[in-house]
Amino acid sequence: MLRYVREDDAEGLRRYYGREDVTRHLLDGPWDAEHAVDQARYRSGRKHITQAGFATVLVAELADGAEAGRLVGDISLWAVDDSLSHGEASWVMDPELGGQGYATEMARAVLDLGFRHYGMHRIQAQVESRNQASARLCERLGMQQEAHLRRNWLIKGEWTDTLVYGLLAEEFAAGET
C-alpha cells in the first residue's frame, strides 16, 4: 500500500537507509537516527507537486499478513520544470524485501500517478551507471535509456557516470493496454 510519509516513519526508513549497501549509489547516507528523524519530518511535508522541484513522496508498506505496516520502500516523484509536465522519479527499497517485484509495483503506481493524475508527458529516472538493479527496474518499467552522462555527479567524493532513462505518456499508455 502506498501512502504519504509520516513523522513516525523515521525508524522504519532508517531500517534500510541505515545500510551501506542501500545508500552506496545515493547522494547521502547511510542515515543515523537523527538524520532519519529530520528526513521523516521533511518528507512528511512533501505531498503535492505544485511547482518545479516540488515532490510527492510516498512510502510503500505491507498491506496484510504478519508484518502488515512494515515499510517496503519509498518513492518520490517531482516536477523537473515549471510546466509540471516533465517529471522525475527516484526509488529505494528495503533489500530484505527486495527481489519480489515490490519496487516494480510501487514504481508503476507512481508512473500512473504522474501520467494520469498530474498529466505529465515524460518521466525520467537518473541512475548511477553501476546501479544494475535500478537500471533493470527502469527497463522492467518500459523506460528507455536515453543518455549516458560521464562523471556528472559527485557521490561521496567520487565523480560518477549517470544513465538517464525516460518514458513518454503514450508509451506508458500503450504498455497498460
Alpha helices in the chain (DSSP H): 10-17, 20-23, 33-44, 102-112, 132-140, 169-176
- Backbone torsions φ then ψ of 51, nearest 5 degrees: -160, 165
Does 39 sit near ligand COA (CB under 6 A)?
Answer: no
Piece in contact with ligand COA (CB under 6 A), picked from 58-66, 88-96, 108-116, 169-177: 88-96
What residues contact 134, with CB distance under 8 A and at least 6 apart?
25, 91, 125, 127, 128
- Mask for 108-147, x = binds ligand COA (CB under 6 A): -------------------x---x-xx-xx----------
By CB under 6 A, tell whether 14 contacts ligand COA: no
Helix, coil or strand: residue 89: strand
- Answer yes or no whether residue 91 interacts with ligand COA by CB under 6 A: yes
Distance from C-alpha of 129 to C-alpha of 38, rounded to nearest angstrom: 29
Contact, 73 vs 85, CB < 8 A? Answer: no
175 lies in the binding site for ligand COA (CB under 6 A): no
Query: Residue 98 interacts with ligand COA (CB under 6 A)?
Result: yes
Nearest distance in Å: CB 114, ligand COA = 16
- Contacts to ligand COA by CB under 6 A: 22, 25-26, 90-93, 98-104, 127, 131, 133-134, 136-137
